[in-house]
Structure 1
């Protein structure tokens, strides 16, 4: 119906507007500290009026929060798809989809890791990865040589460190290469026993 078509057009317009606002915000965020960014600057660069920005976000902190939330949720969704796949061997051990996602959304991740104020994103990412790993480390075949929580924190920090290096160096290697290197590093260090027994 015509009404449905109008709703779809409106939805697409809203999505495009929000994408434009987000893109402008991330460009500014990679150039300067969050405190120095104004809503006027974001609106001007996005080619919208400041009222439109406030229509979707309460302030720049809300905008940053929504950006982080959206990408973390996408990563969670990616990992759930892998968990549903019986052939899958876990998010870090089979990390190619994660590297692919980062490559496809490089401006966001680059801004998050290049800005010194982005500790909120890093903390959320660390929490998400370590929680994901904790689930896999539960079980009798772990051996409990290393505390599960410490092991998850160690592994998550190592993974984020590798991702950060890759991003800061403008993705010098392919996602296939990075995923394979991560798998080999963790296998070599024998810090992912549950996965290794299935490989």
Structure 2
């Protein structure tokens, strides 16, 4: 694996932070490259060295978070739902500005769909249709139902500015997953 220059990482982080900050002030479509450049304290040309345009910047930011969530799913493969959900809620807490912007403000519907699709992928192999409350149901319906509920609860948590701790959220969401999957 090649080592990435620290200056590149610093520039990309400044641009990611700038886009999130600006999205808290205005709609993404209204943000200009010049505003991104000013906020990140880089030249417009520097932005184009790293990204095709502001949409590419946002897409890469979203994909990096989806990738991190997917990786934590694989790391938590041997955990119960509460433990694995705790990993996610801790990640949500540590990246609050991004997730609150993407979910609570409806800033990027594309992110919500990517997040939902990730959950559908991850829950698909967890459903047991042979016994219990899921017997006789269609797997796709159960998976979609649970994934949509999960996204809805996480949106509620951000929209209401974290009314319970991320640990409490993980415990309750994990318990609900154990009951329904």
What TM-score do you get using the length of structure 2 for normalisation? 0.90
Give the corresponding residue for 1:197.
none
Aligned residues: 179
Cα displacement (A) at 1:28 = 0.9
Give the corresponding residue for 1:191.
180
Give the corresponding residue for 2:114.
124
| 1:16 and 2:16 correspond | no
| 1:101 and 2:101 correspond | no
Cα distance in structure 1, aligned partners of 2:177 and 2:9:
39
| 1:25 and 2:35 correspond | no
Cα displacement (A) at 1:138 = 5.7
Cα displacement (A) at 1:157 = 0.8
Instruction: Look at both structures and tell me which one has the larger radius of gyration over its CA atoms.
Output: 1
The answer on whether the counterparts of 1:27 and 1:111 sit within 8 Å (CA) in structure 2 is no
Q: Secondary structure at the match of 1:180?
A: helix
| 1:74 and 2:73 correspond | no
The answer on whether the counterparts of 2:104 and 2:155 sit within 8 Å (CA) in structure 1 is no
The answer on whether the counterparts of 2:76 and 2:83 sit within 8 Å (CA) in structure 1 is no
The answer on whether the counterparts of 1:93 and 1:182 sit within 8 Å (CA) in structure 2 is no
Give the corresponding residue for 2:166.
175
The answer on whether the counterparts of 2:20 and 2:97 sit within 8 Å (CA) in structure 1 is yes
What stretches of structure 1 move > 3 A for 4+ residues in a row? 114-117, 138-144, 184-187
The answer on whether the counterparts of 1:25 and 1:42 sit within 8 Å (CA) in structure 2 is yes
Cα displacement (A) at 1:13 = 1.1
| 1:145 and 2:136 correspond | yes
Residues 99-148 of structure 1: CA deviation (Å, up to 9, x unaligned): 00010011110111234341100000000101110111267457642111
Residue segments in structure 1 that go unaligned for 5+ positions in a row: 1-6, 193-199
Residue segments in structure 2 that go unaligned for 5+ positions in a row: none
Cα distance in structure 2, aligned partners of 1:175 and 1:24:
26
Residues 58-112 of structure 1: CA deviation (Å, up to 9, x unaligned): 00111110011000000000000011x3xx124x774110000010011110111
Give the corresponding residue for 1:155.
146
